Amino acid sequence: MPIIVNLDVMMATRKMSLNELSEKVDVTLSNLSILKTGKAKAVRFSTLEAICKALDCQPGDILAYEE
């Protein structure tokens, strides 16, 4: 898949655990884990917005495109 999810990198940079992020964005651990591992087929803008707010980052910090 050419869309790369760098959620784990941003979480490490911000020293935030998956549990902590899950609580802040009100998304289940399993759904965040699917997103983090790059297995998600889609992500809602509202979820992306909540993640960016919690991690104080931009969507481009989390998502990247590679051929």
CA-CA distance, 52 to 18, in Å (whole number)? 14
- What residues contact 66, with CB distance under 8 A and at least 6 apart? 2, 4
The whole-angstrom separation of Cα 10 and Cα 61 is 7
- pTM for the complete prediction? 0.90
Q: Is the pLDDT assigned to residue 35 strictly greater than 90? A: yes
Q: How many CB atoms lie within 10 A of CB 55?
A: 19
Q: Taking residues 7-33, what's their average pLDDT?
A: 95
Answer CATH for 3-65 from 1.10.260.40, 1.10.287.1080, 3.65.10.10, 3.20.10.10: 1.10.260.40
**How many other CB atoms sit within 10 Å of the CB of residue 62?**
22
Instruction: Name the pLDDT band for 10 (thresholds 50, 70, 90).
Output: very high
Write the pLDDT tens digit of every residue in 36-51. Answer: 998 999 999 999 999 9
